Amino acid sequence: MHTAAATAAAAGDPVLVHDGVAVPAPASPQTLLTQHRQWSYTTALARQGCLVVDWQLHLQRLIRNAHLLGQQRPPTYAKFLAWLEEQQDTAAATAALDAAVRPQVAQALQMLTSADQQQQQQQQQQQQQQEQMQAMVTVLVTDPQHDSSESQPGCPSLSVLVWAKQVPSAAAPSPAKLLVAGGPRELAQAKHCGWALQRQPLEQLKQQAGADEVLLSDSSGALLEGLVSNFFVIADEAALMQRPGHAAAAAAAAAGDEVAGAQFESQTTATSSSSSSSAAGLVLLTAGPAHAALPGISQARVLQACQQLQLRVLQQPARPEQRHAWREAFLTNCVRGIQPVASVQLPDGSTWQAPATGSSSMTQQLQQAVAELQVMTDMTL
């Protein structure tokens, strides 16, 4: 791997580090992704100039992406997957990947911080600015560009690109307006670069409709996920059972939860009788491992938070015909966090409007619980 001293970028501009070398950065990560469409990536949030949120989960995602793409599109990541097979310990493999990627993330963040400090005149202002600074960090991994690419002993043979840019620090994202359009994405379980190109028509539709996000649905109408987010509905469990067919659907959903994945077993088996007073009678709906939706890092934290709050979870997508039971809805995204939903424009032309929830909504409780669960990794070199 090449090494190069971090070079300050102009304040506000994005930076790009490619195998340890600072190179000209495209204005948006989408441009970078469309140039490497057969590969995979992850996007994280960095706080206070150097603290990346849930970094270990992002490393695990990169490994999971490589496995999925290698299986579906061989010989993608052939060398990396061969290296993974040689590792006896998953934790050791994750640590080795960390050693290969982390220095480049640190370099990109240092470039952003240096550019930011150049605009400050006083030391106190510099410190305050860094404490408030947030950055979006996109890490893209590919096979080495050349067979002779350098690789340190014990480290995977990969080419690494890190794109980073400062983003506004929004304590409370504005409620989002959603539009339902488009079907399930290709290779939905993997975060792959090709989706950045495939979703462009839906991005244009979103802008034309004045929406903040587009929800994808399957042939049955189930609401799977957003273009760059996971989708959740908090529903009144009793109301789900009030109309014909809903009881059977809820029973099927509960049965599906039992096989959706052991990591979420405790959440899906929670019952109303054991719930806290604020969660009693409510159920959270979101697409699970059995559905055509990306397993989100923030989504995983939400499911953990539901366990803490004793909020029952059904890993089933919300359905438009159940909207009479919807009480709240929100999106998750690693950069924006938890974003409440104000409205959902449905395919039949109707619009679901979020009812007023007051100052103690379940969405707000989940926001606080997720913030306490997140783990910060210091990227300082």
Residues 162, 183 within the same domain: no
Q: Is there a domain that residue 227 lies in?
A: yes
The per-residue pLDDT for 154 is 62
Cα separation, 69 vs 65, in Å, equals 6
**Contact yes or no for 312/283 (Cβ under 8 A):** yes
Cα separation, 166 vs 133, in Å, equals 7
- Domain of residue 67: give its range: 15-119+131-146+154-168
CATH number of domain containing 336 = 3.20.10.10
Cα separation, 176 vs 170, in Å, equals 14
Cα separation, 110 vs 201, in Å, equals 35
Residues 195, 315 within the same domain: yes
Residues 75, 202 within the same domain: no
CB atoms within 10 A of CB 183: 11
> Tens digits of per-residue pLDDT, 282-297?
999 999 999 999 999 9
Q: Is there a domain that residue 378 lies in?
A: no
Half-sphere exposure of 124 (CA within 13 A, CB side): 0
Contacts of 321 (CB under 8 A, 6+ apart): 221, 243
CATH number of domain containing 104 = 3.30.470
Of the candidates 313, 304, 312, which has an alpha carbon nearest to the alpha carbon of residue 375?
304
- Which burial class, exposed, middle or buried, applies to 190 when counting CB atoms under 10 A from its CB (0-12, 13-18, 19+)? buried
CB atoms within 10 A of CB 115: 18
* Tokens matching residue 4: 């190069």
Q: Is the pLDDT of residue 242 over 60?
A: yes
Residues 208, 342 within the same domain: yes
* Tokens matching residue 56: 């270990």
Q: What pLDDT band is residue 261 in, cutting at 50, 70 and 90?
A: very low
> Tens digits of per-residue pLDDT, 165-215?
999 886 678 999 999 999 999 999 999 999 999 999 999 999 999 999 999
Residues 161, 221 within the same domain: no
Q: Is there a domain that residue 272 lies in?
A: no
Residues 197, 79 within the same domain: no
Q: What pLDDT band is residue 241 in, cutting at 50, 70 and 90?
A: confident
The per-residue pLDDT for 354 is 96
Task: Please give the average per-residue pLDDT across 326-347, as a whole number.
Answer: 97
Distances (CA, A) of 164 to 32, 111, 255: 11, 9, 42
Q: Is there a domain that residue 71 lies in?
A: yes
Q: Is the pLDDT of residue 258 over 80?
A: no
Of the candidates 325, 317, 250, 258, which has an alpha carbon nearest to the alpha carbon of residue 288?
317
* φ, ψ (nearest 5 deg) of residue 45: -110, 135
Q: Which residue has the higher pLDDT, 369 or 249?
A: 369
The per-residue pLDDT for 170 is 63
- Provide the residue type at 324 as one letter: H
Residues 207, 341 within the same domain: yes
Contacts of 82 (CB under 8 A, 6+ apart): none
Q: Is there a domain that residue 264 lies in?
A: no
The per-residue pLDDT for 269 is 36
Residues 204, 161 within the same domain: no
Task: Please give the average per-residue pLDDT across 48-68, as a whole number.
Answer: 96
Structural Rg of the chain based on CA atoms: 21
Residues 142, 185 within the same domain: no
Q: Which residue has the higher pLDDT, 245 or 112?
A: 112
Residues 238, 111 within the same domain: no
**Contact yes or no for 63/97 (Cβ under 8 A):** yes
* Most confident range, picked from 122-126, 152-156, 322-326: 322-326
Q: Is there a domain that residue 72 lies in?
A: yes
Q: Is there a domain that residue 265 lies in?
A: no
Q: What pLDDT band is residue 147 in, cutting at 50, 70 and 90?
A: low
Q: Is there a domain that residue 161 lies in?
A: yes
* Tokens matching residue 2: 């090449």
Q: How many domains does the chain have?
A: 2
* Average pLDDT score, the chain: 86
Residues 158, 193 within the same domain: no
Residues 163, 25 within the same domain: yes
Quote the strand ranges of the chain, DSSP E.
15-18, 21-23, 40-47, 51-53, 134-142, 159-167, 176-180, 213-217, 223-226, 230-236, 282-285, 312-314, 326-333, 337-345, 351-353, 376-378
pTM listed for this prediction: 0.88
Cα separation, 310 vs 283, in Å, equals 10
Contacts of 196 (CB under 8 A, 6+ apart): 29, 30, 33, 34, 37
Task: Please give the average per-residue pLDDT across 130-143, as a whole number.
Answer: 86
The per-residue pLDDT for 352 is 98
